[in-house]
């Protein structure tokens, strides 16, 4: 530390590049979009900065509030499903052998090595009318007689021709895609929290007569709350602002707020209104992060007492 304090040149040499990058490619572009949200559209692409709140007021109209609430509940459903699925996965990784743990973690982060667009099109190949799921179910129905006779049921069950299910272009497909994309964001913080878990607590709970379910809900879950909170935040926020997944997997009634924002910038050429919508989403994100920080601070103060 003393070397850093005494060497100002080394300090600035290490700080200036990331600071420049942050200011030039993050703060300045966001500031420009923030100014757009208080501007008025005077032409096809022309705007005038007059510091009005018209676009924020328009964003609070029922039609846009409905899209906001729909984005919230779809992100909440995605987060809840990810939490339920990720918890046993994280526990399995933590209690796996050290040699297996590395490979299991690799499988979790492996999707990050593939472009999101490619992964989404792979989901389309799975969910479409003639995709893998419908073709697999069609094969099962087609060969039902042989399968029933194989298990000893004979031909007592009559199964009609298979009708492909509509698995694409609806809200269910969007949530399925969001879970597929954001599941690693829930697994990794849960793994980090459970990996620090003192296993003597589990042994003590089981020795004192608590079953596995009581030990899980009364010991494991409370001790993993920091990981749960981090996983919920970093899953909910990207899911709420997701654009590509609902655009490719959803139908006309599956639009989320990010799709509306993109349409305002691309199709409608209404940058001020799109900027207002995007910053309302950002304000909600900041509120969620501030709320988490307050709750974590209160929890820390309670521990010190």
Are 147 and 222 in a shared domain?
A: no
Kindly state whether residues 70 and 187 are assigned to the same domain: yes
**Same domain, residue pair 194 and 282:** yes
Residue 245 lies in a domain: yes
pLDDT 10s digits, 123-163 = 999 999 888 888 888 887 777 666 656 555 555 555 567 78
What domain count does the chain have? 2
> Do the domain assignments include residue 279?
yes
Is residue 232 one of the residues assigned to a domain?
yes
Range of the domain at 143: 129-166
Interval 226-274: pLDDT, tens = 899 889 989 999 999 999 999 999 988 888 999 999 999 988 889 999 9
In order, the DSSP letters of 112-150 are GGS-HHHHHHHHHHHHSTTSHHHHHHHHHHHTHHHHHHH
Does any domain span residue 54?
no
Residue 301, pLDDT score: 46
Cβ-based neighbours of 128, under 8 Å, separated by 6 or more = 134, 167, 168
Burial (Cβ within 10 Å: 0-12, 13-18, ≥19) of residue 282: middle
141 and 204 belong to one structural domain = no
Q: Does residue 264 form part of some domain?
A: yes
Residues 137, 257 within the same domain: no
The answer to whether position 175 is within a domain reads yes
Same domain, 138 and 270: no
pTM of the model: 0.85
Cα angle 158, 163, 169 (rounded to 5 degrees) comes to 150
Judge if 136 and 210 occupy the same domain: no
pLDDT score recorded for residue 298: 64
Quick one: 209 and 249 in the same domain? yes
């Amino acid at each position: 530390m003393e070397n850093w304090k005494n060497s100002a040149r080394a300090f600035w040499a290490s700080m200036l590049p990331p600071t420049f990058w942050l200011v030039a490619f993050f703060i300045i572009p966001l500031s420009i979009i923030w100014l757009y949200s208080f501007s008025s559209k005077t032409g096809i692409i022309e705007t005038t900065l007059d510091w009005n709140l018209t676009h924020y007021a328009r964003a609070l109209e029922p039609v846009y509030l409905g899209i906001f609430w729909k984005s919230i509940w779809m992100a909440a459903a995605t987060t809840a499903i990810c939490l339920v699925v990720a918890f046993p996965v994280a526990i399995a990784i933590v209690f796996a052998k050290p040699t297996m743990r590395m490979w299991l973690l690799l499988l979790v982060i492996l999707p990050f090595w593939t472009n999101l667009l490619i992964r989404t099109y792979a989901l389309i190949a799975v969910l479409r009318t003639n995709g893998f799921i419908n073709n697999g179910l069609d094969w099962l129905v087609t060969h039902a007689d042989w399968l029933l006779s194989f298990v000893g049921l004979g031909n007592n069950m009559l199964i009609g021709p298979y009708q492909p299910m509509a698995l694409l272009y609806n809200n269910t497909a969007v949530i399925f895609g969001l879970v597929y994309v954001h599941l690693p964001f829930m697994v990794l913080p849960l793994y980090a929290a459970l990996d620090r878990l003192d296993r003597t607590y589990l042994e003590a709970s089981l020795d004192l007569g608590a079953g596995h379910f009581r030990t899980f809900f009364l010991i494991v879950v409370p001790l993993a709350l920091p990981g749960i909170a981090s996983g919920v935040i970093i899953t909910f926020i990207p899911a709420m602002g997701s654009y590509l997944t609902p655009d490719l997997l959803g139908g006309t009634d599956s639009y989320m707020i990010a799709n509306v924002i993109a349409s305002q910038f691309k199709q409608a050429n209404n940058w001020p209104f799109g900027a207002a919508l995007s910053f309302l989403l950002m304000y909600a994100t900041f509120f969620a992060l501030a709320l988490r920080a307050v709750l974590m601070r209160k929890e820390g103060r309670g521990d010190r007492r």
